[in-house]
Amino acid sequence: MPWDTNDYPSSLKNLDTAVRKKAIDMANAMLDEGYPEDRAIPIATEQAKEWYENATREEINKMINSSDQQLRSHDNKTQSNRPELLDKGQHVVPHEDQWAVMTQDAKEPANVYQYKQDAIDRAKEIAKNKDTQVTIHRQDGSIQNKLQY
């Protein structure tokens, strides 16, 4: 069951609104990717705090004004209804002038980033937690590198 702004882990209650919403969003995405709750919550909290430190005022305002529906927008892409994807590796691929992290054989990207390095970092984190690999692609789709975890 995904968390929302009315029902979330108590460890998030004292966070700034933008940080809390980002942590909820990240933790839900991590649960979808197969992370256990006891790992998803602290990782998402730490990453949300880091996001906040580096976010623009516009990004922070967008997060503050986001609805629970927007926070759960990745639910349509959840892999929890496709358990066969839990053992699959991650791919960093070009996606509409950005970079996407996609689980092998998935229909939709798990995450999309403006910068390739951000996508690589996220793919590495997922692969480490799942003990799988990361395949990094070039802009033309060819394989640039493979990393095993």
pLDDT in tens, the chain (149 residues): 578 888 999 999 999 999 999 999 888 888 877 778 888 899 999 999 988 988 899 989 988 888 776 665 544 444 444 556 678 899 999 999 999 999 998 888 888 999 999 999 999 988 887 889 999 999 999 999 999 98
The predicted model scores a pTM of: 0.52
Domain ranges of the chain: 10-78, 81-149
Give 72-87 as a DSSP string.
Answer: TGGGGG-STT-GGGGG
What are the percentages of helix, strand and coil residues in the chain, rounded to 5? 50, 15, 35
